[in-house]
Chains A and B, each alone.
Chain A
Amino acid sequence: MNFNDNKAIYLQIADRIGDDVLNGHLQTDGKIPSVREMAAEIEVNANTVARTYEYLQQSGVIYTKRGLGYFVSADARDIIVRMRRQQLMQGEMDYFFGQLRAVGITPDDLRDSYQQFLTK
């Protein structure tokens, strides 16, 4: 795993779990690795992983069964999609739009190329 991104690592790990939910590797009520297992797998401090799980639990993506571990919530997918949309619209779009303006790409150009992309 590479940590080139500037995002705090506990959030990067959350993104990775989110990816696994979106691409179907993790199913509703599926068990996710324990804090220790995950820490060893990706070679990070266990407290960092614990922070990721706490964050995902608060967001409603995962839930805990006492003594059994962490599991994927029924509405995990919806929550992740909502969070990612928000993240895109608030942060990354700003940067993207700035780049478009800098090189003079108009909303019409953008609509055409996005529509083309969607038909791929």
Chain B
Amino acid sequence: MLQISNLSFSYGKSSGELFNNFSLDLQPGNVYGLLGKNGAGKSTLIYLMTGLLTPKDGVVTLNGDNVRQRLPKTLNDLFLVPEEFDFPNISLSQFVKLNSPFYPRFSVEDMNRYLDIFEMERDARLHSLSMGQKKKVYMSFALAANTQVLIMDEPTNGLDIPSKSQFRKIVAQAMSDDKMMLFSTHQVRDIEQIIDHVVIIDHSRVLLNANLADVSSRLAFRPMRPGDQPLLTQSSPMGTLAVVPAAPGEETQPDLEMLFNATLLQPDVVNTLFAQ
């Protein structure tokens, strides 16, 4: 669906290459979590994926069309919720009237349902909202646009505690087999249960691109046992927790923080485990 092929990019000659021959294929029916350290290039990658930046080399395509051409049929089916944004000084209904025609499958009913779950008014004045409220309104609009591709940069930043749970509920409702969603985040606990695929990037490389069911069958996340050869250990009140190669039939729930740290610490070991 969304295909990144041999991408290279840098912000000018003096700064080094952020991406070099980077490839990634994103498929419908999945909710991806994009993880990387600060400065790993997550936001840049998102801008490249949505045609907002021009790659030095390589191409990003949506259903075969170069996203950088920004064709109407591409933009119809692509929505980005950046980490920070501003609304014009109008009401939500005016905003919907102006912007929804760009999205053929936009549904007012869907939007109202999501606003209700977020406990937001259905027609607020956008400038009177707090940052977190703006985010909830914009995310409701974005999900109701029903685009094939929906990308959100740090979606849970600025959301209060109940809103994070509401966000998960809404995403689980809005997802369908013909859509692809991607959330870039540092707040892995917030999205751990709603993603089914994890992409970890570092130094312009994809260190891991795996289904979470696959992660469960290859790596175990549990208290350390004698004889273990862990990829990573971590102290906790329950004792030492470890990431170890999973025994046949062993299926634990992946802990995304530990998976991330283990992958950055031992990229080659992880790579070998997942290549089998």
Q: Which of chain A's residues have a CB closer than 8 A to the CB of B194?
A: 43-45
Q: Is A36 an interface residue (CB 8 A)?
A: yes
Interface of A is mostly: helix
Q: Is the beta-carbon distance between B165 and A43 smaller than 8 angstroms?
A: yes
Q: Is the beta-carbon distance between A43 and B169 smaller than 8 angstroms?
A: yes
Q: Which of chain A's residues have a CB closer than 8 A to the CB of B29?
A: 47
Q: Is the beta-carbon distance between B251 and A7 smaller than 8 angstroms?
A: yes
Q: Which A68-104 residues have a C-beta within 8 angstroms of B?
A: none
- The smallest beta-carbon distance between B113 and chain A, in angstroms, is 11
Q: How far is the CA of A99 from the CA of B31 in the complex (A)?
A: 42
Q: How far is the CA of A47 from the CA of B176 in the complex (A)?
A: 10
Q: Is the beta-carbon distance between B193 and A45 smaller than 8 angstroms?
A: yes
Q: Is A105 an interface residue (CB 8 A)?
A: no
Q: How far is the CA of A10 from the CA of B251 in the complex (A)?
A: 10
Residue on A nearest B211 in the bound complex, by CB? A47
How many chain A residues sit at the interface, stated as a range, is: 20 to 34
Q: Is the beta-carbon distance between B173 and A44 smaller than 8 angstroms?
A: no
Given contacts A6-B221, A6-B222, A36-B173, contact A43 B251 (CB under 8 A): no
Q: Which B113-163 residues have a C-beta within 8 angstroms of A?
A: none
Q: Is the beta-carbon distance between A8 and B169 smaller than 8 angstroms?
A: no
**CB-based A-B contact count at 8 angstroms:** 55
Q: Is the beta-carbon distance between A39 and B172 smaller than 8 angstroms?
A: yes
- Residue in B175, B196, B216 whose beta carbon sits within 8 Å of that of A8 in the complex: B216
Q: How far is the CA of A104 from the CA of B9 in the complex (A)?
A: 66
Q: Which of chain A's residues have a CB closer than 8 A to the CB of B253?
A: 3, 5-9, 12
Contact with A along B206-232 (1 / 0, CB 8 A): 000000110010000110000000000
Q: How far is the CA of A45 from the CA of B194 in the complex (A)?
A: 4
- The smallest beta-carbon distance between A34 and chain B, in angstroms, is 11
- The smallest beta-carbon distance between A83 and chain B, in angstroms, is 15
Q: Is the beta-carbon distance between A43 and B168 smaller than 8 angstroms?
A: yes
Residue on A nearest B177 in the bound complex, by CB? A46
Q: Is the beta-carbon distance between A6 and B252 smaller than 8 angstroms?
A: yes
Q: Is the beta-carbon distance between B193 and A8 smaller than 8 angstroms?
A: no
9 extra interface residue pairs, beta carbon distance < 8 Å, beyond A43-B168, A44-B172 = A6-B252, A7-B253, A8-B251, A11-B251, A43-B172, A43-B194, A45-B31, A45-B196, A47-B30
